[in-house]
Amino acid sequence: MRSNLLQFGWSLFLAFGLLTPLAAQQELGTHFLRQHWQASLTNPAFMTEHTIEIGLPSFYFNSATNGLDFDQLVRTTVEGQNVVNGEALIANQSENNLILADFHTETFRLGLRFQDLQISFHHGLRFNAYLNYPASLAQFIFLGNASAVGETLALGPDIQLTGYNEFALGLAHRVGRLGIGARAKLLTGIGNASTENRRADLFTDEDIYQLTLDTDILLNTSSYFRINSLTDFDLQVGVDDFTAGDLFNSNLGFALDFGLTYDLSDRWQIAASVVDLGGIQWSENVVNYRSNTNLAYDGIAVDSLLQSASIPLSETLDSLGELLTFSETTDNYQTALPLKVYLSSRYQFGDSWAVGGLVHLVHFRETTNWALSLNAQRRLGKVLSLGLSYSIRHDHFANLGLQATAQLGPIGLLVMMDNVLASNGSNNGLSFNLRTGLNLAF
Catalogue the E-assigned strands of 299-395: 327-329, 333-336, 339-349, 353-364, 367-380, 384-393
Between CA 374 and CA 226 the distance in angstroms is 44
Going by C-beta distance under 8 Å and a sequence separation of 6 or more, which residues neighbour residue 364? 130, 160, 336, 338, 339
The CATH number linked to 76 is 2.40.160.40
Nearest residue to 163 via CA among 217, 101, 232: 101
Q: Which residue has the higher pLDDT, 229 or 326?
A: 326
- Residue 12 pLDDT > 60: no
Using the predicted structure, report yes or no on whether residue 117 has a pLDDT greater than 90.
yes
Q: Which of 126-130, 206-210, 314-318, 413-417 has the lowest mean pLDDT?
A: 314-318
Q: Residue 296: pLDDT above 50?
A: yes
Number of domains in the chain: 1
CA dihedral (65, 68, 71, 77) positive or negative:
negative
CA of residue 348 relative to chain centroid, distance: 30
Side-chain half-sphere exposure of 227, counting CA atoms within 13 A = 22
Q: What number is the average pLDDT over the span 67-96?
A: 70
| Weakest-pLDDT range from 159-173, 191-205, 227-241, 326-340 | 227-241
- What is the value of pTM for the model shown? 0.83
Look at 172-176, 295-299, 404-408 and tell me which has the smallest mean pLDDT: 295-299
What rounded mean pLDDT belongs to the chain? 81
Q: For the chain, what is the largest distance between any 2 Cα atoms, rounded to a whole number of angstroms? A: 79
**Domain, as residue range, for 331:** 2-441
According to the model, what pLDDT value does residue 424 have?
47
